[in-house]
Amino acid sequence: MAAETTSEFGEHGHLAVLDPEFAPFADLLPPRSKTDVGVRRKQFEDGPIAASMKNYGVGLPNESTYAVKDQEINVAGPPAGKIRVRTLVPTSSEEGKTYPLYVWFHGGGWTVGNVDMDDYQLRQLCVELQISVVNVEYRLAPEHPTPIPQDDCYTGIKWAVENQVLLSADVKKGFLVGGLSSGGHITAVLAHRARDDPWFEGRRITGHIMQIPAFCHPDAVPEEYKGSLFSFKQNEVTPGLSVADLEWFYKQLGGSPTSPDVSPLLHPVHAGLPPAVFQICGLDPLRDEGLLYGKILRNDGVKTRVHTYGGVPHGFNYMLPNIAAAKRWEREYREGLRWILDGAPGEA
């Protein structure tokens, strides 16, 4: 578990104090294989993915209120191939009705995971918020190292924009991208890429959501920021995600640690990014870089909302959806989406 919270862990160290509702479960979460990709994938399917489908399946909207479809789309690569996207579209008696567009990237350390992971939650959001959703299943490392996962997701974004009619979507009503963990990392990478891409002229992303994201390879942290990143030490051995886990995932992703595709915090320009929503866990080794990235964006004039969840680890809400912190997570997730859909009112 996390080291004792003392002043040596900086201004955010108090966020590692165990949540009383989480504490009884802290030592019960199963360990993960440290080396075998196949074993990790099976553990992820049997753990977080199965838990997500069980827990969010309880609140699924009526099947008549939305349409779901899996499709294969071509990716140019290199290497060329195909990826799966799962589309969710609200149903309406009003002919020609259109909705905002939300493109989502699952988590799993770029190495595990699939579209089932957040499927049921996204079905709820589709109906509750009346948004069209494209859930992208990118190719996984280490078989497909960086920048393939990022490029696949970028293809998914462009496919969604090009198929607005198919999706009953209208990006002028809202165009959001988001992801969790490695999906949050990919979201940050692609927000920069899309900002600089003239292809998106007239159809710009209007907001991005990053949940428990990674922003900087541990070997690439700039000297100026090392004094503000304490969560790697404080949360070195925690359930959900340990430092050893994170290092293993980065090794599978590959690439140069200083590349903005690997460490989006190092991108030379953050100004001009769309409004951003962050959800960050206090027992996560990624905590402080998430808070730092939010501060950097805010200082560069990007409108931000940053939510923290003290005393709970990376991905806690999948396994323990009924504790108060998980319920607040769900509420603030929806509030963040609505904030972006409303045009992100307020100051940066």
Catalytic residue among 52, 132, 168, 181: 181
Quickly count: other Cβ atoms within 10 Å of residue 53's Cβ: 17
DSSP SS3 for 311: coil
Q: Is 12 a catalytic residue?
A: no
From 192, 284, 288, 307, active-site residue: 284
> Would you give the DSSP letter of residue 173?
G
Collapse the DSSP code of 306 into the 3-class scheme (helix H, G, I; strand E, B; otherwise coil) and give the result: strand
Token pair of 226, please? Answer: 């090392």
314 is catalytic: yes
117-to-50, 106, 107, 128, 215 alpha-carbon distances in Å: 8, 7, 8, 19, 22
Burial of 191 (0-12, 13-18, 19+ CB in 10 A): buried
| Residue (of 205, 181, 210, 175) closest to 193 by Cα position | 205
**How many C-beta atoms lie closer than 10 Å to residue 97's C-beta?**
12
Amino acid at 165: V
- What are the DSSP calls for 224-287, one per residue? HHHTT--HHHHTSS-SS--HHHHHHHHHHH-S-TTSTTT-GGG-S--TTPPPEEEEEETT-TTH
Active site residue 245: no
Catalytic residues: 181, 284, 314
